[in-house]
Amino acid sequence: MRIGILTGGGDCPGLNAVIRAIVRKSVQSGDEVVGFRDGWRGVLEGDTVPMDLAAVRGILPRGGTVLGTSRTNPYALQGGGDRVLATLERLGVDALIPIGGEDTLGVATKLAEAGVRVVGVPKTIDNDLDATDYTFGFDTALGVATEAIDRLHTTGDSHHRTLVVEVMGRHAGWIALHAGMAGGATVVLIPEQPFDVDAVVEHCQRRFDSGYSPIVVVSEGAKPKDGDWVLTTGEKDAFGHVRLGGIGTALASLIEERTGRESRAVVLGHIQRGGTPSPFDRVLATRFGLAAHDAVHAGETGVMVALRGTDIVRVALTEATAQLKLVPVERYAEVEVFFG
């Protein structure tokens, strides 16, 4: 059997573990694996690399993806879908395992409808895919964010200043929620719960009153409750680019003003998605890869592998991408116990 694989969208620690698992299992079962470079771009252009044992040696502990990635969406291009089908036909690809997020799996869904045998592997560092308990990469990002918070506690306390840590999470606040709980944050702000500025300031003040300094953990997509406080837009940097400071920087200014104490923002950015995957992510990614190969051999199509409890299951691709997994109010209530 000839299996095509590709990685699309933002990179995520664990992608290489998925790739390696598919290749190792394929070698065992006598299948051949074709890697497409840079996501759907490689499929569109027939840009491939043979994935044998040598190609996956030593990649398990490495971040990123040896296949490269891109945000290319074939269905956004004139005749893109047909070109994809043509490439698969020409290369004799019997089944395709795309590893990616909403966008990549959306393309996968359409290909499945077009008759291609497709088994998806979910990837989102934000952990916001509804059909699976966890996605790989999330635990690694959580580790980076928590280590940063651990580090900031002592510097904050020494200077009696507030530290605001901005973490990833455009629509879902999972990283902020877990890192805030694991790091002992004074306040955690997430997109799902528009925040009250007064309450944030009050929690910080209460923390100062107790003799310690506040750490505020905020998702990049968090927003204030009341419409009266907004991030202005349109400022430009030295090159004329709009480089607006995000919510973290804005909050730090606000808290400084309102508490009368120094405040600093730290924007973790890309270090959250790079580097060696945590053991949890390596195991999850490896199991996803093995399970995707199994699903292909079982003749499945239009499905995605997913984690449920400790089991890897198969769910319909359509169901998988139907809605975002947001932080429910009772989970937020858990972390609120520790505010202030």
Catalytic residues: 126
* Minimum CB–partner distance for residue 106 and a second copy (Å): 20
Q: What are the start-end ranges of the E strands in 1-65?
A: 2-7, 32-36, 48-50
Crossing angle for the helix pair 329-336 and 174-183, nearest 10 degrees? Answer: 20
**Segment lying near a second copy (by CB under 8 A), choices 96-104, 111-119, 259-267, 297-305:** 259-267
Is 63:276 a contact under the CB 8 Å cutoff?
Answer: yes
Is 168:220 a contact under the CB 8 Å cutoff?
Answer: yes
Query: Which residue, 85 or 182, is less far from a second copy as judged by CB?
Result: 182
Note whether 21 binds a second copy by CB under 8 A.
Answer: yes
* Minimum CB–partner distance for residue 319 and a second copy (Å): 17
Note whether 133 binds a second copy by CB under 8 A.
Answer: yes
Note whether 245 binds a second copy by CB under 8 A.
Answer: yes
* Minimum CB–partner distance for residue 256 and a second copy (Å): 8
Report the residue from 79, 159, 170, 298 that binds a second copy according to the rule CB under 8 A: 159
Query: CA-based Rg of the chain, rounded to a whole angstrom?
Result: 22
**Segment lying near a second copy (by CB under 8 A), choices 92-100, 116-124, 135-143, 188-196:** 135-143
Report the residue from 249, 259, 301, 321 that binds a second copy according to the rule CB under 8 A: 249
Report the residue from 4, 5, 24, 200 that binds a second copy according to the rule CB under 8 A: 24
Phi, psi angles (nearest 5°) of residue 165: -110, 115
* Minimum CB–partner distance for residue 84 and a second copy (Å): 21
The whole-angstrom separation of Cα 290 and Cα 147 is 31
Report the residue from 158, 227, 228, 260 that binds a second copy according to the rule CB under 8 A: 158
Query: Which burial class, exposed, middle or buried, applies to 82 when counting CB atoms under 10 A from its CB (0-12, 13-18, 19+)?
Result: exposed
* Minimum CB–partner distance for residue 25 and a second copy (Å): 5
Report the residue from 89, 113, 198, 334 that binds a second copy according to the rule CB under 8 A: 334
Question: How many residues does the structure list for the chain?
Answer: 340
Token pair of 209, please? 């009153």
Terminal-to-terminal C-alpha distance of the chain? 58
Report the residue from 2, 83, 153, 297 that binds a second copy according to the rule CB under 8 A: 153
> Dihedral angle at the C-alpha atoms of 69, 75, 77, 82, nearest 10 degrees?
100
The whole-angstrom separation of Cα 204 and Cα 189 is 13
Which residues have a Cβ under 8 Å from the Cβ of 227 and sit 6 or more positions away?
Answer: none
Name which of residues 261 to 320 contact a second copy (CB under 8 A): 264-267, 269-271, 273-276, 278-280, 282-283, 286-287, 290, 308-310
Is 8:92 a contact under the CB 8 Å cutoff?
Answer: no
Query: Which residue, 18 or 116, is less far from a second copy as judged by CB?
Result: 18
Note whether 68 binds a second copy by CB under 8 A.
Answer: yes
Note whether 232 binds a second copy by CB under 8 A.
Answer: yes
Query: Which residue, 39 or 302, is less far from a second copy as judged by CB?
Result: 39
The whole-angstrom separation of Cα 54 and Cα 147 is 34
The alpha carbon of residue 188 and the mean position of all alpha carbons in its chain are separated, in whole angstroms, by: 19
* Minimum CB–partner distance for residue 64 and a second copy (Å): 3
The whole-angstrom separation of Cα 256 and Cα 328 is 30
Report the residue from 2, 62, 171, 297 that binds a second copy according to the rule CB under 8 A: 62
Is 174:276 a contact under the CB 8 Å cutoff?
Answer: no
Q: Which residues define the annotated binding site for diphosphate? A: 10
Query: Which residue, 111 or 164, is less far from a second copy as judged by CB?
Result: 164
Query: Which residue, 76 or 271, is less far from a second copy as judged by CB?
Result: 271
